[in-house]
A and B are shown apart, each in its own frame.
Chain A
Amino acid sequence: MARLLTLSLPALCETWAFQYAYDKVIWMKSCLVVDDSKVIRQVARHILETLRFEVREACDGRQALDSCIASPPDVVLLDWNMPVMSGMDFLRALHATDLPKRPKIVFCTTENGMAHIRAAIEAGADEYVMKPFDRETLESKLQIVGID
Chain B
Amino acid sequence: MTVRPASRPDERRLSDQGLAIIAALVEARTGQEIAPNRVWRVETALKPLLRGSGASSLDEFVSHVVAAADGVLIDAVVDAILNNETSFFRDAGVFDQVAEAARIRAQEAGGRMRIWSVGCSTGQEPYSLAILLAEKMGIDDPAFPEILATDVSAQALNRARAATFSQFEIQRGMPVRRMVEWFEKRGEQWTAHPDLIRKVQFRRHNLASDPCPAGKFDLILCRNLLFYFAPERRHRLFDRLAGVLANEGLLVLGAGETVIGQARGLVPSERFRGFYCRAAEDAGRT
Contacts and interface: CB of A to CB of B under 8 A. Distances in A.
Contacts of A121: 176-177, 180
A3 B265 CA distance: 62
Contacts of B175: 127, 144
Interface in A6-40: none
B176 A127 contact: yes
Nearest to B170: A130
A118 interface: yes
A117 B168 CA distance: 16
A143 interface: yes
Contacts of B172: 136-137, 140
Interface residues of A, number: 19
B92 interface: yes
B63 interface: no
Given A137-B172, A140-B172, A112 B167 contact: yes
Contact of A134 (B89, B168, B179, B185): B168
Contacts of B176: 117, 121, 125, 127-128
Interface in B152-183: 167-168, 171-173, 175-177, 179-180
Contacts of B89: 140
A130 B185 CA distance: 13
A100 interface: no
Contacts, number: 38
A143 B168 CA distance: 17
B63 to A, nearest CB: 35
Interface string A104-148: 000000001110011001000101111001101100110110000
Interface string B70-114: 000000000000000001010010000000000000000000000
B168 A144 contact: no
B185 A114 contact: yes
Nearest to B185: A114
A130 B92 contact: no
Contact of A133 (B92, B171, B177): B171
B180 A137 contact: no
Nearest to B178: A144
Contacts of B173: 140, 144
Interface of B: 87, 89, 92, 167-168, 171-173, 175-177, 179-180, 184-185
Interface of A: 112-114, 117-118, 121, 125, 127-130, 133-134, 136-137, 140-141, 143-144
7 contacts: A121-B180, A127-B175, A128-B171, A128-B176, A137-B168, A137-B172, A140-B89
Given A117-B176, A140-B172, 11 more contacts: A113-B185, A114-B184, A117-B179, A118-B180, A121-B177, A129-B171, A130-B167, A137-B171, A137-B172, A140-B171, A144-B92
